[in-house]
Structure 1
Amino acid sequence: MNLFDQFAPATLLNVPLTPLAMLFPWLLLPTPQLKWVHNRLQAFQNWLFMLFSKQLLLPLNTPAHKWAFLFASLLTLLLTTNLLGLLPYTFTPTTQLSINLGLAIPLWLTTVLAGFRNQLTHSIAHFLPEGTPTPLIPALILIETISLLIRPLALGVRLTANLTAGHLLIHLVSSAIPVIFLLSPTASVITFMILTLLVTLEIMVATIQAYVFVLLLSLYLQENT
């Protein structure tokens, strides 16, 4: 088997299962109910969303607060998808660059268009800092344009590279344990402990990368509101 077969999109009767893999985590979330007192899971979920929204939207202007629901939904999607992808016999859609770019490009483009609509002069001024010498104007405009256009690519590649690297490392270490066990049981136990630490680290990476993805989008929005 190819080492990268685990990142191939899952199919059933030649029908891709990626949309199902992205929709399934939403079924695990508790549905809000009209009750005076929520259970522990719903209370924890509400507290987590309120804490996240408060920390993320605090530096943003008031017009940007309408993005709170979108950012919370995006964080939930990325977080649940990344974490469920660590379970055996599962598929992680966010290891696909096409999926991540499909999320990053429209959201980034929306922040840019919002800036052009709300503050056209300020948004255009980003391409040429004040006080730039005349001979450097073409070069700076080109650099700022490339810097702006590369942002969605950086968003997608960062999420893809971190998750792919972690999955590959876990796969390599777990494949080596049975081979090492035949040579040295003690070494295989040590390798298994390392694998446990790697899985713990990958859980942290999956959580942090989901937050970083949304945080960078909020920073792009902050520049355009």
Structure 2
Amino acid sequence: MNENLFTPFMTPTLLGLPAVVPIILFPTLLFPTSKHLISNRLITIQQNLIQLIMKQMMMIHNAKGQTWSLMLMSLIIFIATTNLLGLLPHSFTPTTQLSMNLAMAIPLWAGTVITGLRFKTKNSLAHFLPQGTPTPLIPMLVVIETISLFIQPMALAVRLTANITAGHLLMHLIGSATLALLTASFLATSLTLVLLVLLTILEMAVALIQAYVFTLLVSLYLHDNT
């Protein structure tokens, strides 16, 4: 058994070196590709899902915002596949690491802010001071809006980390309880096993939803700055 609850979240090593890079690159091998003119059913379903998600994600953007479509689709696919692979036994979920989520959130957030300052300077600066603000409250509101702006990437990363980590911890606790009750009570073991199966299904949904939420918030930040 694991030494503590947080052992599954430790970065695995391979020959003494961190194995994060091969783990991050592994999901790309799972997507089927075809070298022929006619694709099979699996590739067709995959393409239709990607087109559906892209349509829903890009319908609020103008021409300049739609140039980010490839990046946003790559982001949602990467996060979703990484979260789902982390549900497998003896696996590792990179999105449980706050440092990795910050490494995704900060550049994307900074890109949207820089885009807004470059192409919509007046509108971007106007967000720091709502119209009709009383004069004595202007300095305070500018400070509050500045803090809220810089806290956006932290909120993105912490939301993803907390949701994925909490689900994995709960699955670990219920799985340990199922093993502990295996020799004590068959009825209690059956109930906890059913609960574990239901929680696993829920976590599969959470893995997909959190990928969509993360990408959707980046898309909304981009929409506000284009």
Give the match for residue 201 of structure 2. 200
Q: Deviations over 1:56-80 (max 9, x none)?
A: 0101112111111101111111011
CA distance in 1, matches of 2:114, 2:36: 38
Q: Are 1:29 and 2:26 matched, yes or no?
A: no
Q: Tell me which amino acid in the other structure corresponds to 1:163.
A: I
Aligned residue for 2:102, secondary structure, equals helix
CA distance in 2, matches of 1:178, 1:100: 33
TM-score (norm 2): 0.97
1:32–1:104: structure 2 CA closer, same or farther, 3 Å change rule?
Answer: farther
Give the match for residue 219 of structure 1. 220
Q: Deviations over 1:133-183 (max 9, x none)?
A: 000001100110011000000000000000000000000000111211222
Give the match for residue 14 of structure 1. 16
Q: Tell me which amino acid in the other structure corresponds to 1:22.
A: I
Shift of 1:34: 4.2
Give the match for residue 117 of structure 2. 116
Shift of 1:32: 4.3
Give the match for residue 82 of structure 1. 83
Structure 1: gaps spanning 5 or more residues: none
CA distance in 2, matches of 1:30, 1:68: 21
Identity between Structure 1 and Structure 2 (%): 54
Alignment of 1:1-225 (within 5 A): 1-35=3-37, 37-225=38-226
Aligned residue for 1:166, secondary structure, equals helix
Aligned residue for 1:31, secondary structure, equals coil
CA distance in 1, matches of 2:176, 2:19: 26
1:124–1:159: structure 2 CA closer, same or farther, 3 Å change rule?
Answer: same
Q: Deviations over 1:173-207 (max 9, x none)?
A: 00111211222111100110000000000000000
Q: Deviations over 1:98-154 (max 9, x none)?
A: 000000000000000000011111100000011110000011001100110000000
CA distance in 2, matches of 1:178, 1:130: 60
Q: Tell me which amino acid in the other structure corresponds to 1:144.
A: E
CA RMSD of aligned residues (A): 0.8
- Which stretch shifts more, 214-223 or 182-191? 182-191
Shift of 1:2: 1.6
* Structure 1: 4+ residue segments shifted above 3 A: none
CA distance in 2, matches of 1:43, 1:136: 56
- Which stretch shifts more, 96-105 or 172-181? 172-181
What number of residue pairs does the alignment pair up?
224
CA distance in 2, matches of 1:33, 1:45: 15
